[in-house]
Amino acid sequence: MGAKQKKALKKNLKEVSSQLPVSSDRKDTADFLPLEGGPRRKLPEEKPLVNKAAVLYIGRIPRWFYEKEMHAFFSQFGTIRRLRIARNKKTGKSKHFGFIEFSDPDVAEVVADAMHGYLLFEHILQVHLIPPEHVHPKLWRGFNHGYKPLDWVQVECKRQNKRIEAASIEYECPEIVGYVMPAPKKIKFDED
């Protein structure tokens, strides 16, 4: 299509659009937008949904400040949905960092501002908000399960029994019973 043909087509469109009757009694709808000049109805501005963070990272947690104590301490700010302290799988000891999720994101923001740099049992707490896109899906797996320590004496007995069986010896490790001192039948008093 040449330049002259395009110009003629635009001219014809303008003539046809000017001949169409414009009804002033028709209400503007949300899906109607005029093609050319004239007053336009402004659509209400929709605020994008902000997915606020409600999960806090808490670092440098001192000794003896575990789940029960943390729940009691941080519940003064608002309701806590979930709380988890990272622990060693083998020993169950704390790794001195954890996560708390509050039901209200505004409360989480207030806690992060108030508790970051807080001195607690000679440890300065590090508290940060975690954005929702950085929260790992497996973060809250097993968050309310307490740690049950292993009975290492029983584990060692089982290992010893396996070694003995592997050596084809028919022997079972006896239970270790402590020696209890018998109580004296008569009590002697010195009358000096």
- Residue position matching structure tokens 């000891």: 93
Banded pLDDT at 147 (limits 50, 70, 90): confident
Higher-confidence residue of 55 and 191: namely 55
Q: Provide the 3-class DSSP secondary structure of residue 56.
A: strand
Mean pLDDT value of segment 72-100:
92
Banded pLDDT at 143 (limits 50, 70, 90): confident
Range with the largest mean pLDDT of 7-16, 29-38, 67-76 = 67-76
User: Residue 109: what pLDDT?
Assistant: 94
Q: CA 153, 158, 162: angle at the middle one, nearest 5? A: 145
Mean pLDDT value of segment 97-104:
95
Higher-confidence residue of 146 and 157: namely 157
Mean pLDDT value of segment 75-80:
95
DSSP 75-123: TTTS-EEEEEEEE-TTT--EEEEEEEEESSHHHHHHHHHHHTT-EETTE
Homologous superfamily in CATH for domain 55-134: RRM (RNA recognition motif) domain (3.30.70.330)
